[in-house]
Amino acid sequence: MTVQGLQKLVTNFQETASQISGPVAIVAMGSQLVQSDIASLFDFTAIISINLAIVNILPLPALDGGQLLFLAIEALRGGKPLPEKFQDSVMQGGLVLLLGLGVFMIFRDSFNLLQQSGISP
């Protein structure tokens, strides 16, 4: 399901982007699960862990998959790595983008939770 969701995100971003949740929404969902059925919290936790593992292995800078991509490129180049300054720049740029996305998701999820609770920001 995770891979299919990522494919839909790439092929139909407009429709699927609103279905993505950040850390605030994930904690809110976990809280609702605990209140209704604590046993389902274990399934929820497993799904979150699997999703994080799959996303982490994607070849994106600042994630493990990005490091694996650099190692694969090094292997294809006969053991010669890309310049360290280039690798650092790519990783730093990826980290800035991921942190920016994280901050955006926290604000969006918080705003949505406030709207659902009837509190206007």
Which regions in the chain score pLDDT beneath 50?
A: none
**Which residue type is seen at 80?**
K
Residues in Cβ contact with 51 at an 8 Å cutoff, skipping those fewer than 6 apart: 2
pLDDT tens digits, one per residue of 85-98: 999 999 999 999 99
Q: What are phi and psi of 91, to 5 degrees?
A: -65, -40
Beta-carbon count within 10 A of 43 CB: 11
Residue 47: closest CA among 21, 11, 67: 21
Residues 103 and 105: their CA atoms lie apart, in Å, by 5
- Amino acid 120: pLDDT: 64
Is the pTM value of this prediction over 0.75? yes
Residues 11 and 16: their CA atoms lie apart, in Å, by 9
Beta-carbon count within 10 A of 42 CB: 10
- Amino acid 118: pLDDT: 77
Positive or negative, the Cα torsion across 51, 101, 116, 10?
Answer: negative
- Amino acid 38: pLDDT: 81
- Amino acid 63: pLDDT: 92
Q: DSSP secondary structure string, 24-40? A: HHHHHHHHHHHHH-HHH
